[in-house]
Amino acid sequence: MRPASWAWCATEVGHAPRRGWRGWAGRARGLGLVGCLGLALAQSALAVQMVAQAELHVQTLAPGGPEADLPALLARLPAPADTAAWSPVALPQTRQPAPLSGIGSDGAAMQIWWYRVWATPSVAAGPVRRCALYLPRVSGGVVVVAAWNGGGWRLLSDGSDLWREQWNRPVWVERAACAGPQPTEWAVGVIRRADGQHRISQAQIGPVPALRPAYDLRLQLQLAGPQVGSLAFLALGVLALVYWVGHPRQTAFLLFALTAAAWTLRNLHYYATLPRGPEALAWFWWMTNASLAWVMALMYLFGLQFDARPSPRFTWALAAFVLGVSLLSVPVAGAPLHSLLAIHLVNAGVATLVGVLLTLRAWRSGGEALKFITLAFWLTEAFGLHDLLLVTGGIGPASIYLLPYASLVVLLAFLGAAQRRYVQATEQAVQANSQLEAQLARREEELRQNHERLRRVEREQALLLERQRLVREMHDGLGSNLMSALVLAEQGRLSRDSVAGLLRECLDDLRLVIDSLEPIGNDLVTLLAMLRHRLARRLEAAGLTLVWEVDDLPPLDWLTPPEALQVLRIVQEVLNNVLRHAHARRVRIAITQQAPVVRVLIEDDGVGFDLSQVPAGRGLRHLRERAARLGGTLRVDSQPGQGTRVQLDLALQRAALA
């Protein structure tokens, strides 16, 4: 439909000279296009007529199913000439009036309720290609639509194939040639049992382009919206179930998955094709209605996951109630809860009690997650009450069912609760990490203090052991020599020279002990160099020439003061033997590395001796014992007239000679 105003806009604005969009002319042209668009939309909306008044005619059919007498029905379409057969009625109609004339009283009889509606000539004026009849909701039976073509009624729509899904599908019927001086008449028929009920909303008649957006929006709200919400909930439920399989202790994820499955069953009739058999259809409706009680119980159990105070008695009572309602409402003969209204009323009463309990728990605990669940529960209860009023006629049939959208509310509440639990877990983890860090810092401080105490104890122990060692060394060495000298001096058996010699030996032994305590950095060459420096005058006074040959040696990690003293005693004892018995003119000390040992070689050019003729004494035996305590070996080679050669092998590492 293109009215004169739209033609003027197209001519004066759309075809105006193009001077660009800049300046006042461009702005005026843009505002003109916007105004024309608004005018066109307004005229399109005005072209749609809301039909609030209609005429009703009721026909009684033969007993049988909704499709049983359909061919005969279509041959007996209502005749407009029979004005007595029509009675005025207001739309929407949610509660049918008392039976009119012509309605049979047999409960098994089938009836068709005809509603005749029409559009005024002003609505149909103008060159219109197609117009449409749109009813947001007609439920309770098979819907057929006929149109008056000037000579009689012509059937335009036969809804017998989808009458089971008609309760949630809008009616849309198009026809051609709507223009004319006479009103455009339509007849909407609802075929149902005589003892049943049906609901019909206000009709809308107008051009197809004007009505189509409202019809498409209704399809999205009544069919696509519940389907998307349920499938999204089910997809997240599958993910929660997969996570729960890997983490069985996380019961909240299992309850989330079960709630998603229950919601999918509850909303299945909003987008699935219903069974054709009466028994299968009854069991299908039982499944979708009974699942609502399970949704209520699962939401309550999920909410308890965020409350530290369990309530096992009420939980078991709620489970027993849900199971009882499910069993008492099975579609078999004699079932106590065979009425859909009774089932919903019982569920609403128990849901109210559950909501009050969740509210009290949320109020006392103060947890945000439980508050989210409680709010979603009450919104679900409100949506269910709205749908119950829609079913019973308390709300006009043009409204949409809200309970399917409660799945999105529950989904958002569950996600909010899970996100809050994640945030709390993260905060607890951060707090726990802070506590662990503080505890670790305290433990580290305690360990540091214990380590310091242990080091002090070790130092004290080392000093004590070193003191004991020094006492023992001085007692066995210096003390023994002094005691021997004292005894001989008291007996008058020592000459002045002998006393001087004994005192010199005591002084040398004392110097050895002192040298062993010098910080030499585990260096054997430095240790023996100190000994060489102390003995240089004695060797020179005895006419001995000392030849000193050393190589660069690595530090010996085992060369501590006790071991250093043993090395010094061995070398000093060998040099004393050279001074006393060898009558040598030259002595050579060589220190070399013969991996894996360090070799200390002391050889002289003295008179030598026959090892086999040496009497058993403590001299050589003590030298070998000292070398063994160092982990080394001592070898003596000598022959008469060829000097003496003493070889001391010490390990570079403690295990080298093992």
**Residue 545 lies inside a defined structural domain of this protein:** yes
Q: What is the mean pLDDT of residues 69-87?
A: 63
Lowest mean per-residue pLDDT among 325-339, 488-502, 625-639, 643-657:
488-502
Note the pLDDT tens digit of each residue in 82-103.
677 788 999 998 765 433 333 3
**Residue 236 lies inside a defined structural domain of this protein:** yes
CA count, 13 A, side-chain hemisphere, 94: 11
- CA angle at 355 for the pair 349 and 356, rounded to the nearest 5°: 95
Residues 297, 165 share a domain: no
Note the pLDDT tens digit of each residue in 478-494.
666 677 666 667 667 66
Res. 152 pLDDT band, cuts 50 70 90: confident
Residues 134, 205 share a domain: yes
**Residue 450 lies inside a defined structural domain of this protein:** no
Residues 109, 10 share a domain: no
**Residue 327 lies inside a defined structural domain of this protein:** yes
**Residue 127 lies inside a defined structural domain of this protein:** yes
87, 57 in Cβ contact below 8 A? Answer: yes
Residues 131, 54 share a domain: yes
What are the C-alpha distances in Å from 591 to residues 526, 637, 650? Answer: 11, 17, 11
Note the pLDDT tens digit of each residue in 164-217.
788 888 999 998 766 656 678 888 988 888 877 888 999 999 888 889 999 999
Beta strands in 123-170 (DSSP E): 130-135, 138-139, 142-148, 153-158
Residues 326, 207 share a domain: no
628, 646 in Cβ contact below 8 A? Answer: no
Arithmetic mean of pLDDT over the chain: 77
pLDDT at 71: 54
Residues 97, 197 share a domain: yes
Tally the residues of the chain. Answer: 658
**Residue 269 lies inside a defined structural domain of this protein:** yes
606, 643 in Cβ contact below 8 A? Answer: yes
Range of the domain at 23: 4-46
CB neighbour class for 314 (10 Å; exposed up to 12, middle 13-18, buried from 19)? middle
Residues 105, 33 share a domain: no
Residues 377, 259 share a domain: yes
Residues 57, 37 share a domain: no
pLDDT at 615: 67
126, 208 in Cβ contact below 8 A? Answer: no
Q: What is the mean pLDDT of residues 234-254?
A: 89
Pure H helices in 125-277:
208-219, 225-246, 251-266
Res. 25 pLDDT band, cuts 50 70 90: very low
306, 417 in Cβ contact below 8 A? Answer: yes
Last residue of a domain, one of 394, 429, 464: 429
pLDDT at 127: 53
pLDDT at 6: 36
CATH number at residue 567: 3.30.565.10
Between 261 and 125, whose confidence is greater?
Answer: 261
Res. 441 pLDDT band, cuts 50 70 90: very high
Tokens read off for 97: 């009036």
**To which H or E segment does residue 423 belong?**
helix 406-474
pLDDT at 39: 41
Residue 8 has pLDDT above 60, yes or no: no
624, 615 in Cβ contact below 8 A? Answer: no
Tokens read off for 272: 């699935």
Name the most confidently modeled range: 23-27, 429-433, 457-461, 470-474.
429-433
Among all chains, which residue has been given the structure tokens 């059919």? 61
Residue 7 has pLDDT above 50, yes or no: no
3-class DSSP string for 492-533 = CCCCHHHHHHHHHHHHHHHHHHHHHCCCCCCCHHHHHHHHHH
Residues 202, 75 share a domain: yes
Is the omega angle on the peptide bond into residue 615 within 30 degrees of 0, that is, cis?
no
Is the omega angle on the peptide bond into residue 519 within 30 degrees of 0, that is, cis?
no
Give dist(CA 33, CA 409) in Å, integer. 42
**Residue 502 lies inside a defined structural domain of this protein:** no
Last residue of a domain, one of 380, 408, 429: 429
Give dist(CA 62, CA 282) in Å, integer. 24
pLDDT at 103: 34
pLDDT at 101: 34
Q: What is the mean pLDDT of residues 296-311?
A: 78
pLDDT at 82: 67
Residue 18 has pLDDT above 60, yes or no: no
Between 294 and 620, whose confidence is greater?
Answer: 294
pLDDT at 214: 93
Q: What are phi and psi of 564, to 5 degrees?
A: -60, -40
Is the omega angle on the peptide bond into residue 170 within 30 degrees of 0, that is, cis?
no
Res. 527 pLDDT band, cuts 50 70 90: confident
How many domains would you assign to the chain? Answer: 4
**Residue 469 lies inside a defined structural domain of this protein:** no
Q: What is the mean pLDDT of residues 287-316?
A: 81
Residue 385 has pLDDT above 80, yes or no: yes
Between 420 and 493, whose confidence is greater?
Answer: 420
Note the pLDDT tens digit of each residue in 312-328.
888 888 888 888 888 88
Lowest mean per-residue pLDDT among 61-70, 105-114, 268-277, 465-474:
61-70
Residues 184, 37 share a domain: no
Residue 656 has pLDDT above 90, yes or no: no
pLDDT at 73: 57
Cβ–Cβ contacts within 10 Å for residue 516, how many?
Answer: 24
pLDDT at 133: 92
Tokens read off for 311: 């309530």
- Indicate the angle between helix axes 406-474 and 278-304, nearest 10 degrees: 40
Fill in the amino acid letter for 65: G
Last residue of a domain, one of 155, 190, 218: 218
Q: In this structure, what DSSP letter does residue 134 have?
A: E
Residues 187, 102 share a domain: yes
The bridge status of strand 153-158 relative to strand 545-550 is unpaired
Name the most confidently modeled range: 78-82, 496-500, 591-595, 609-613.
591-595
370, 306 in Cβ contact below 8 A? Answer: yes
Between 657 and 250, whose confidence is greater?
Answer: 250
- Bridge partners (DSSP) of residue 586 are 545
639, 608 in Cβ contact below 8 A? Answer: yes
pLDDT at 105: 38
Res. 136 pLDDT band, cuts 50 70 90: very high
**Nearest to 269, CA basis, from 293, 289, 296:** 289
First to last CA, the chain: 113
Residue 104 has pLDDT above 70, yes or no: no
Between 445 and 250, whose confidence is greater?
Answer: 445
Residue 20 has pLDDT above 60, yes or no: no
Among all chains, which residue has been given the structure tokens 């003119």? 585
CATH number at residue 168: 2.60.120
